[in-house]
Amino acid sequence: MEHLIHLTLRFVEERCKLTLSYSYSIEPFKLKGSLETMQQRLKGRQMPTPHSSQNTKKELTLDQLLHALEAEDCSNAPVLLKEESVTQSKVHLIEEITSPEMPEKLSTPAYEMITVKDANKKTLNIELKIELPKVSSVSECDLRISKDDIIIEVPEKYKLQLDLPELVDEETATAVFNKGKRVLFITVPAAKTDL
């Protein structure tokens, strides 16, 4: 949390050309209520709880709060902003970017894993057939094979991680993508065991 706060303060200083104080405290309250209550909380003094007749609380925006603080004498409050920065034209702290709709959750493609064995029931190969209907080119796929697992990722579309039933020789693995059927065939030989 400390690191995040310091990064945020540095970002605001650089982006808005401000000098901010790095002495702060995290208060357990939400910043709502009257201007007087807000000022007391920012100065570190807790206000007495309001009576039932004072239930008309007014919420303020940051701009309203800054203009109200500008108008009042705040000589004993800690300086958080340069004076000229308060009167500058509105600078948006959050940059809005246009992007397509939120990326959907990556789906797990349908797959079939077959272990090919010899007459002595020793594993020869592991064959994997993965259906990728949203993929039009093998260049979209990222395939990683290790001795005991296979990971295939297609950004914003699919992710599949499979633990292999046997150790394999990842160096001699082959993969073929059938463009017409949109199916990826992977063949991985079993690792040779010295007896």
| pLDDT (tens digit per residue) in 118-167 | 888 888 999 999 999 999 888 899 999 998 899 999 988 999 999 988 89
pLDDT tens digit sequence for 18-58: 887 777 777 665 555 667 776 776 666 544 544 444 444 45
| Cα torsion through 138, 141, 144, 149, rounded to 10 | -100
Helices (runs of H) and strands (runs of E) counted in the chain: 4, 7
Residue 161 neighbours by CB under 8 Å, 6+ apart? 149, 150, 151
CATH number of the structural domain 111-189? 2.60.40.790
Domain boundaries in the chain? 2-49+56-87, 111-189
Asked if residues 104 and 156 have their Cβ atoms less than 8 Å apart, the reply is yes
